[in-house]
Structure 1
């Protein structure tokens, strides 16, 4: 390749299959059936790549655009875990190109109408813990394959509509299903329609009100506030304890913890060697 005719092109694909092509060249490029457009204001910092198993490290940044990467999509998590490939391309002949990065998007931050996304290489997965963790509490996530619980069951979810919202984090409902107080604490809230559709938050408190109503408080305000009449889905919370799995969810057969594992205080007690052998 000739250095004076080199540019970069990168392809981002979301988990739902939506694809976008970008380039830092001043005109569009096309290869592999994708158009790489320059008009989204996206650029990438110099790539840092280590030898061996070192983690590749870089960032992509650009302006938020209604046609490309929108603030609402970012806040809704639609770009989370999107895959990314980056090439060096001879813009005079796109057939002459070299793949220099393959990985995905990591942490995405937003400020002043722009975004910045961390790029994570394929070796990032080598930093993840492997195998099971031996701990009294469950290692599964509620509703995942290990847990096996069907969160669509009416006993574990509720779909009210927004009636009132205070300080962006407290939702109040005048009527609520027959759920015990605290049923949704440590659970999650998902917005099903409206401008905030797809946004989700972690539930901090679930308080039964004296008049039969309910107050659901989130740990953090949603990026776009739901409006009165928008539908929500509340998912029950799990504190990972064996008692909760057995009594609240009736799912102890799938419990992925070790509730009878001795604690550190028991193992380290003076004279434990003789008494605990």
Structure 2
């Protein structure tokens, strides 16, 4: 149950309240954006909440059983959401809070409707941006802890792995490219060397946008998530070798087997089910 301030409760009871929605986005890089569906900017809490009419959302419902609350929000380019920024992942997992506010009485305390994080984001041909809102209870659905399996569960170069990535990081310049791949014909490493690794343009329109390498063959870095812009000839980059998490790769490629974090010798479920 939401607690209402006495003044707002009285205005609602009298039918004199003028309600609108305000919402705040806190991006993972610390940038904060504030918007309202009112037809004019609102001053509240020492901040300006920018007006936009390109906003709708589905019904939001709070439940007492702590189940996950989700709602879809539609917004347009007039909110300042930029497609290259969305493609770059700037809005991924951003914190979002929605309030309802009486715009005609700024002294009234707004009522928080829901708080959570942005989930899936899709962009329609018309420019409409649709993003899924996930309440904080969704975090309770995430499994936390370590599992036993044959693959290493460390990240290449982290403290548990211990590999010095400096020895496995290279730089170069693109000789061709698309939004989904970067080609450097000067590369001499064997096929698969960078598969599962990272490639980051350091110049051009995609500068600083790191991507995971889906496949590396004959100097071509194919990435899972396309860049906002095609890679241009001459764009510089850095690339980090990939690791397939097997003990063989750990030993032969990185000479790091003593710190391997997998359990390839533990029998799997297939052995248990076979009855042997």
1:76/1:197 contact within 8 Å kept: no
Question: How many Å apart are 1:266 and its aligned residue?
Answer: 2.7
Specify whether residues 240 and 89 from structure 1 end up closer, same or farther in structure 2 by C-alpha distance, changes over 3 A only.
same
Q: Name the TM-score, length of structure 2 as normaliser.
A: 0.84
**Secondary structure in 1 aligned to 2:172?**
coil
Deviation at 1:40, TM superposition (A): 7.0
Does the residue aligned with 1:77 lie in a helix, a strand or coil? Answer: coil
Counterpart residue number, 2:216: 206
Whether the 8 Å CA contact 1:187–1:203 is kept in 2: the answer is yes
Distance 1:40 1:150, change over 3 A: farther
Alignment equivalent of 1:183, drawn from 163, 186, 193? 193
For 2:36, the equivalent position in structure 1 comes to 23
**Counterpart selection for 1:164 from 158, 176, 180:** 176
Distance 2:26 2:164 in 1: 29
Tell me the C-alpha RMSD between the 2 structures: 2.4
Which residue, 262, 265, 273 being the options, matches 2:267?
262
CA contact (8 A) 1:22 1:40 kept: no
1:160 positional shift: 1.5
Say which of 82, 85, 103 aligns to 2:94.
82
The gaps in structure 2 that reach 5 residues or longer are 1-7
Tell me, in whole angstroms, the C-alpha distance in 2 between the residues paired with 1:39 and 1:170.
36
TM-score, scaled to structure 1? 0.84
Instruction: Tell me the distance in 1 between the aligned counterparts of 2:69 and 2:236.
Output: 41
Give the equivalent residue in structure 1 for 2:140.
126
Change (3 A) 1:170 1:73: closer
Over 3 Å counting, the alpha-carbon distance change for 1:61 and 1:243 in structure 2 is: same
Alpha-carbon offset, residue 121 of structure 1: 0.9
**Residues 47 and 165 of structure 1: is their aligned pair in 2 closer, same or farther, counting only changes over 3 Å?**
same
Given candidates 84, 88, 91, the residue that maps to 2:103 is: 91
Equivalent residue, structure 2, for 1:42 = 55
Q: In 2, Cα distance between the equivalents of 1:90 and 1:76?
A: 36
> What residue in structure 2 maps to residue 211 of structure 1?
none
Aligned residues: 261
Residue aligned with 2:265, SS: coil
